[in-house]
């Protein structure tokens, strides 16, 4: 059997047999894949059915909830309720920790999830995605105690996303490797299409909502200006699709850098740590890239609130490091020479 026709299920089985992953994690990943196939089926015709438009509610983020946000959230709750796989779920759409059946002592894992990232794109048939991270139950305390939840991303056992675009792709990292699977809709299976993804050390695109440039630390304006004019060679292009999961996926495959900094009014920026930044930081680092809040690794941040936000700079190692150096006061020339010598 040639590698590219390896199903997700066969791949996960091999990972368990080789000791690269645990059966529990693989079972959770397989369940996520099944739930995402259902989500995709609804997405493919959202304009024709009852899931179009708004739920008529405002979530804990203060954002209007799309019917598909809520549908996707409930899909994951239903898929894991009674599965014995998870003890709790932390979702962008739920104010509190959702804990599953209490009498599942074997359910030693928590999942953090953004069920439908970028849902504001739904009205214009844009890219959206599901972002997830799987963590081990940290202590024997009840799973919604802060000691369970407020743990650094370095404790994530696996993380990834499902991207609903022209194709439907599942990308996950469990430790040191990142693998991508593409859904064959005729078969209803995810097939390995991008084995062992490595993010290029540097790219030629930057990604950010530059309408906010004036409100950000001037280092971002320096970085954008430097690369817009070919500071180190060819000028960079701007790519920004308003869905973190889609902007990140492009950078994972092509290189480049995404940034959503804090500003004077929102010092922690907009993106959430537990179910947006930390899962993608896990994937970025496993693929050889980097992810910081501008000063420290995203994966080392210990949250103190469920829906805590964080500034995010993520992507190719050289660009993330260059922005971090500029934020620390280095000049573009110093950054360029450092990059040249690395
Ligand atoms: P802005 C989507 O709502 C999201 O949380 C991310 O997916 C995306 O990167 C960001 O917000 C876009 O925010 O302020 O540019 O509209």
**Mean of all residue pLDDT scores within the chain:** 91
The answer to whether residues 254 and 124 belong to one domain is no
Co-location of 184 and 228 in the same domain:
no
Question: How far, in Å, CA of 25 to CA of 48, rounded?
Answer: 36
Q: Are residues 95 and 15 in the same domain?
A: yes
Is 68 contained in some domain?
yes
Indicate which atom in ligand 1 lies nearest the CA of residue 209.
Answer: 15
Q: Are strands 205-207 and 98-99 parallel, antiparallel or unpaired?
A: unpaired
Of 153, 170, 194, which closes a domain?
A: 194
154 within domain boundaries: yes
Q: Are residues 143 and 216 in the same domain?
A: no
Q: Which atom of ligand 1 is nearest to the CA of 245?
A: 7
What integer pLDDT is reported at residue 160 of this predicted model? Answer: 98
Residues 337 and 210 in one domain: yes
pLDDT band at residue 99, thresholds of 50, 70 and 90?
Answer: confident
Which tops the pLDDT comparison, 330 or 184?
Answer: 184
**Domain region containing 327:** 205-341
Residue 304 shares a structural domain with residue 186: no
What's the CATH code of the domain at 296? 3.40.190.80
The tens digit of pLDDT for each residue in 18-70 reads 988 889 999 999 999 999 999 999 999 888 888 888 888 888 777 877 888 99
Whether residues 106 and 246 share a domain: the answer is no
33 domain residue, yes or no: yes
Same domain, 178 and 65: yes
Let me know if residue 67 belongs to a domain: yes
* Residue 112 is assigned to a structural domain of this protein: yes
Q: What is the DSSP letter of 236?
A: P
Q: Which residues contact 98 (CB under 8 A, 6 or more apart)?
A: 77, 88, 89, 90, 91
Dist. CA 257–CA 324, nearest whole Å = 12
Q: Tell me the percentage of the chain whose pLDDT exceeds 70.
A: 93
Task: Report how many domains make up the chain.
Answer: 2
pLDDT in tens, 79-95: 999 899 998 999 999 99
CATH code of residue 161: 3.30.540.10
Domain C-terminal end among 126, 160, 194: 194
pLDDT > 90? residue 149? no
Q: Using a 6 Å CB cutoff, which residues line ligand 1?
A: 117-118, 120, 209, 242-244, 270-271
Asked if residue 1 has pLDDT above 90, the reply is no
pLDDT over threshold 80, residue 339:
no
pLDDT tens digits, 206-218? 999 999 999 999 9
234 and 95 housed in the same domain: no
Cβ neighbours of residue 206 closer than 8 Å, sequence gap 6 or more = 223, 224, 227, 236, 237, 238, 239, 256, 257, 258, 259, 319
pLDDT at position 170, please? Answer: 98
What's residue 319's pLDDT? 96
Contact 293, 313 (CB under 8 A): yes
Mutation test of ligand 1: which of 117, 239, 309 has the most ligand atoms closer than 8 Å to its C-beta?
117
Closest CA to 7 of 23, 22, 24, 29: 29
Whether 166 maps to a domain, the answer reads yes
Q: Is residue 182 part of a domain?
A: yes
pLDDT, residue 293, reads 98
**249-267 mean pLDDT:** 96
Asked which of 194, 217, 244 is the last residue of a domain, the reply is: 194
Phi, psi of 91 (to 5 degrees): -125, 145
Q: Per-residue pLDDT for 183 more than 80?
A: yes
Which ligand 1 atom is at minimum distance from the Cα of 63? 3
Around Cβ 37, how many Cβ atoms within 10 Å?
17
The pLDDT of residue 233 is 85
Q: Whose CA is nearest to atom 14 of ligand 1?
A: 209
* Residue 159 CA to ligand 1 centre (angstroms): 20
What tokens does 60 get?
């804990």
- Same domain for 216 and 69: no
| Domain-located, residue 189 | yes
**Do 333 and 248 have their domain in common?**
yes
Average pLDDT over residues 322-328: 96
Same domain for 105 and 188, yes or no, is: yes
At 335, is the pLDDT very low, low, confident or very high (cuts 50, 70, 90)? confident
């Amino acid at each position: 059997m040639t590698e590219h026709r390896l199903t997700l299920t066969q791949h996960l089985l091999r990972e368990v047999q080789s000791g690269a992953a645990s059966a529990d994690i693989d079972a959770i990943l397989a369940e996520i894949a099944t739930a995402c196939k259902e989500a995709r089926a609804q997405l493919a015709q959202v304009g024709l059915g009852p899931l179009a438009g708004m739920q008529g509610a405002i979530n804990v983020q203060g954002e209007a909830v799309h019917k598909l946000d809520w549908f996707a959230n409930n899909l994951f709750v239903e898929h894991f309720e009674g599965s014995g796989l998870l003890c709790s779920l932390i979702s962008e759409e739920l104010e509190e920790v959702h804990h599953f059946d209490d009498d599942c002592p074997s359910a030693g894992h928590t999942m953090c999830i953004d069920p439908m990232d970028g849902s504001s794109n739904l009205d214009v048939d844009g890219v959206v995605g599901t972002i997830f991270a799987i963590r081990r139950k940290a202590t024997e305390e009840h799973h919604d105690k802060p000691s369970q939840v407020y743990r650094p991303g370095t404790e994530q056992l696996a993380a990834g996303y499902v991207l609903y675009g022209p194709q439907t792709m599942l990308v996950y990292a469990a430790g040191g490797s990142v693998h991508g699977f593409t859904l064959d809709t005729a078969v209803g299976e995810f097939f390995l299409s991008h084995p062992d993804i490595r993010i290029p050390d540097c790219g030629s695109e930057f990604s950010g909502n530059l309408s906010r440039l004036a409100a950000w630390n001037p280092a971002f304006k320096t970085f954008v200006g430097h690369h817009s004019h070919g500071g180190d060679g060819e000028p960079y292009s701007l790519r920004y699709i308003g869905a973190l999961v889609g902007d990140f996926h492009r950078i994972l495959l092509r290189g480049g850098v995404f940034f959503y900094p804090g500003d004077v009014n929102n010092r922690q920026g907009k993106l959430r740590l537990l179910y947006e930044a930390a899962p993608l930081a896990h994937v970025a680092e496993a693929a050889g890239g980097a992810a910081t809040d501008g000063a420290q690794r995203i994966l080392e941040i210990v949250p103190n609130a469920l829906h805590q936000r964080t500034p995010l700079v993520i992507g190719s190692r050289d660009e993330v490091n260059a922005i971090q150096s500029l934020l620390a006061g280095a000049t573009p020339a110093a950054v360029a020479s450092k990059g040249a010598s690395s």
